[in-house]
Amino acid sequence: ALQLVESGGGSVQAGGSRILSCVVSAAIDKSHVVGWFRQVSGKEREGVASIDTDGEIRYGTPVKGRFTVSEDATKNTLYLQMNDLKPEDTAMYYCAEGPGRRWPKFEYATWGQGTQVTVFS
């Protein structure tokens, strides 16, 4: 099956930056949506950023203006550049791909294992 492997998580001081990478084991289906999600223990998983089949990019409200998602198709890799990090950004970050419109559908998506990002003051 398709595999997604995230990397780049770790601890970072508030106001700092970090970039996450998601390497996919094969070329992503052109009909699929790709994106990043995050989850804190006890809370629902929330959308961070997505790229739809038309190349349109969307961001979750809390990260608008601070995070940037991009994709390098030649490397089968998805990136998430995170700037001006805040303690509330602390979460497990997951990449995903699958059918969908604006975001991959949870029930049909393939997920990475997650990478932890911790932002401290």
pLDDT tens digits for range 38-90? 999 999 999 999 999 999 999 999 999 999 999 998 999 999 999 999 999 99
Who has greater pLDDT, 65 or 106? 65
N-terminal to C-terminal alpha carbon distance within the chain: 40
Categorise residue 15: left if φ over 0, alpha if ψ from -120 to 50, beta otherwise.
left
CA proximity to 113, closest of 39, 44, 53, 48: 39
So what's the pLDDT on residue 43? 96
Instruction: Identify the residue whose tokens are 């699929």.
Output: 32
The closest of 87, 61, 65, 77 to 28, measured between CA atoms, is: 77
Q: What per-residue confidence (pLDDT) applies to 28?
A: 86
